[in-house]
Structure 1
Amino acid sequence: MKSLTRQHRAIVGLEKRLRTLPDPRRRRGRRHSLVSVLLIAVCAVLAGARSYSAVGQWARHAPQEALARLGARAAGPFTLRQAPSTSTIRRVLLAVCPGGLADLLGRAPDEATTVAVDGNSARGSRTDTAPAAHLLAAVTGTGQTVTQLRVPDRNRP
């Protein structure tokens, strides 16, 4: 995914920015919207979740009012809100381009006097068949993310 333009960065509101992300999933079998899964994950992380299982646990125990505000789907005869499963949250977060999401949520460095660049492996991104995702991020002196991109595995030549 290419870095987003100033027009995308000027969109006010997290939900509106997330709506501009393309959904990487196939249409068949989708039960939860991309935006609702991402918003639930963001809220879980803000509440202290540090792993996919913790995010899933937060989603399972979230109150109905919170799930409604985050766009979780309503199902059943009582139209109760159903949070996505832990595996759904994990699949969606791994499928969304990390650089695209960081670009979407990041800030333009217009007023920044300094920009720091650092790389890390994304915790929990390694699977049995794929190595961990390595991310390179640019951050302003005030701690605001400018951009983040996925880079090749650091162990490869």
Structure 2
Amino acid sequence: MNLREVVLQPVAASEEARFRSLMAAHHYLGALPKIGDTLWYVATWQGQWLALLSFSAAAWKCAARDAWIGWDFRHQYDRLHLIANNSRFLILPEHHVANLASRVLALSERRLATDWPARFGYPLLLLETFVDPQRFHGTIYRAANWHEVGETRGYRRTRTGYSAATGPAKRVFVRPLHARARACLSHPVLDPRYRHGAPHIMLSADQMLSLPEFFAGIPDPRRGQGRRHPLPTVLAIAAAATLCGMRGYKAISLWAQDLSQQARARFRCRWRNRRYEVPSRTVIREVLVRVDPDALNSALQRWNLQHAEDEDLAVDGKTMRNAIDADGRQTHILGVVGHRSQTCYTQKKSAPCP
């Protein structure tokens, strides 16, 4: 067999039954339904089926992968779509040929670079897979330049979350599809090329609706003329963006611009020309620099009392760039983060340490 003649192509709708049947018969995990955005491939040589692959939605959580990427937990839920899981890889029994697996993996990377965005509207930055060490060594992935980054903790996904008991740990392999995949995935502001749909807000609908109410009593530091966006709306959007991991005025503004119309309505954004408008970066910065820190802190504490999930809190400090007080000193921010939920409950301006 000439490996250069091996071709990889998506499984046609008329071939899906055969694909499932072969997976069920020959893969130790059996057939797999399509999970989220999924592509199935078949490798052929002179019309013969040689190998089957499935690429589907990434694992919701994987400590080894997440540590390798280095992203904030609040970023990952909005960026998981940029990772695909090689959930099945099967070389059919009669075609175990040297170097065939590496050839098929290389072909799949090339196909995914064009097939995935064409099918789902966004590109991929990273591939992942899990290898059972009791059955395999991961040799084919190493040969194809995949990186082993650790092991799973043995939990498996269920309909209600994760299993209570652990099973055998699996080795975690990843394959970057872009030279700067790790940097892109972990950067505080996601490159616009990789955004897809509205941001994944880590708040319930009721919590989004409640945020503006808690800021309603804060005095507006802006001049009365030209107040296009209500102060509670601006503060609610800034607080929600911070909960989703945004840091800095630009990141908060970009996050706000990506909000769906439904989310904007919940934040009570300005209605104009039959659309809800979000405040600009300039408006957000002006409000956050001028707002009374004590009043803001009090409102956030009240919101925390109603929606808190944590018993233990941690305090963190940051220095805001381009935020100078009347004495020419940079503004310092103290934040309170919940240990269990990792939620940032409150942030307060403070004087610099001596």
Which TM bucket (shorter chain)? 0.5 to 0.7
C-alpha separation in 2, matches of 1:140 and 1:43: 15
C-alpha distance 46-146 of structure 1, shift in aligned 2 (>3 A): closer
Residue aligned with 1:126, SS: strand
C-alpha distance 53-100 of structure 1, shift in aligned 2 (>3 A): same
Counterpart residue number, 2:301:
106
Q: Structure 2 matches for 1:67-82, cutoff 5 A?
A: 67-76=264-273, 79-82=274-277
Residue aligned with 1:19, SS: coil
Residue aligned with 1:123, SS: strand
CA radius of gyration, larger in? 2
Unpaired runs of 5+ residues, structure 1, are 1-12
Q: Does residue 320 of structure 2 align to residue 132 of structure 1?
A: no
- If each structure's strand is expressed as a fraction of its own residues, which one has the higher value? 2
C-alpha separation in 2, matches of 1:145 and 1:54: 16
| Matched letter for residue 81 of structure 1 | Y
Counterpart residue number, 1:120:
317
Counterpart residue number, 2:233:
36
| Matched letter for residue 85 of structure 1 | S
Counterpart residue number, 2:258:
61
C-alpha distance 34-119 of structure 1, shift in aligned 2 (>3 A): same
Root mean square deviation, CA, Å: 3.4
Report if the CA contact (8 A) 1:99-1:147 is conserved: no
Q: Does residue 298 of structure 2 align to residue 88 of structure 1?
A: no
Give the % identical residues. 34
Residue aligned with 2:271, SS: strand
CA deviation profile, 1:32-83 (whole Å, cap 9, x unmatched)? 000111111122122221121011001111111111110110112xx11111
Report if the CA contact (8 A) 2:338-2:345 is conserved: yes
Q: TM-score, normalised by structure 1?
A: 0.67
State the shift of 1:100 in Å.
Answer: 2.2
CA deviation profile, 1:98-142 (whole Å, cap 9, x unmatched)? 232112222699xxxx998x6834433534983222356789999
Report if the CA contact (8 A) 1:103-1:146 is conserved: no
C-alpha distance 151-101 of structure 1, shift in aligned 2 (>3 A): same
C-alpha separation in 1, matches of 2:279 and 2:350: 29
C-alpha separation in 2, matches of 1:31 and 1:152: 31
C-alpha separation in 1, matches of 2:238 and 2:320: 15
Structure with the larger RCO, 1 or 2 (CA within 8 Å, 6+ apart): 1
Residue aligned with 1:90, SS: helix
C-alpha separation in 1, matches of 2:337 and 2:347: 9
C-alpha separation in 2, matches of 1:137 and 1:47: 14
| Matched letter for residue 132 of structure 1 | Q
Report if the CA contact (8 A) 1:121-1:132 is conserved: no
C-alpha distance 41-115 of structure 1, shift in aligned 2 (>3 A): closer
Residue aligned with 2:219, SS: coil
Q: What is the total number of aligned residue pairs between the two structures?
A: 137
Residue aligned with 1:88, SS: helix
State the shift of 1:96 in Å.
Answer: 1.0
Residue aligned with 2:226, SS: coil
Residue aligned with 1:134, SS: strand
